[in-house]
Amino acid sequence: MAGKTRICFVCLGNIVRSPLAENLFIHLARQANVDDRYEVDSAGTGAWHVGEPPDGRMRQVAARRGLHYDGKARQFSRRDFDRFDLIIAMDQENRRDLLRLVPTPEQQAKIHLLREFDPDSEVQASVPDPYYGGMDGFEEVYDIVERACRGLLKALENGTLSEAR
């Protein structure tokens, strides 16, 4: 992938998991002094939360760990298949929704599950959606997303992306 690698993280509403992944990935890339190599965004498969800020509970968990972010939710569109090199789904449902939209086999190859890059996960595992649960679910999701984003960054930097599970 010549130039910057463009990554879009995708969840259902783009207010909990995908904005966390977007901002955590950039945070980790900055820490590794490689953030200039990446253009990162996030989107949702649904339009319910378009224009809304990220979920306050997730931002509260992130802030306690030193990550502060904001933004506005947007819906994933077919044009995003052309704009991004990698499209990273948070769960199997998001992946299925993306596969229904994808226009070409080449663009289908861009779609991955985030937990493919989580060394502690099962193959094809999903990032759980903590939206309707308690704060412990948000803590768990933060840990999962952080591990997976570290794994994704490592795979990109080592050139081993194709070896992901």
What pLDDT digit, counting tens, does each position of 45-65 carry? Answer: 999 999 999 999 999 999 999
Task: Report the distance separating Cα 165 and Cα 6, nearest Å.
Answer: 21
Helix axes of 17-31 and 135-158: crossing angle, nearest 10 degrees: 50
HEC string of 42-81 equals EEECCCCCCCCCCCHHHHHHHHHCCCCCCCCCCECCCCHH
Tell me if 88 sits within 8 A of 53, measured CB to CB.
no
Q: What is the CATH number of the domain that holds 13?
A: 3.40.50.2300
What pLDDT digit, counting tens, does each position of 121-134 carry? Answer: 988 999 999 999 99
Is 37 an annotated catalytic residue?
no
Rounded percentage of the chain residues whose pLDDT exceeds 90: 92
Burial track 76-100 (b if 16+ CB lie within 10 A, e otherwise): beeebbeebbbbbbbbeebbebbee
Tell me if 43 sits within 8 A of 74, measured CB to CB.
yes
What dihedral do alpha carbons 21, 161, 165, 154 form, nearest 10°? Answer: -60
Count up the domains in the chain and report the number: 1
Q: Which one is catalytic: 8, 11, 55, 59?
A: 11
pLDDT at 163 exceeding the cut of 70: no
Enclosing domain of residue 101: 5-163
Mean pLDDT of all residues belonging to the chain: 95
Q: Which one is catalytic: 17, 59, 74, 150?
A: 17
pLDDT at 162 exceeding the cut of 80: no
Q: What is the mean pLDDT of residues 3-7?
A: 95
Look up the pTM and report it.
0.96
Residue labelled with tokens 């930097």: 157
Provide the pLDDT confidence category of residue 2 given band limits of 50, 70 and 90.
Answer: low
Task: Report the distance separating Cα 64 and Cα 76, nearest Å.
Answer: 29
Is 17 an annotated catalytic residue?
yes
Q: Which one is catalytic: 80, 91, 118, 129?
A: 129
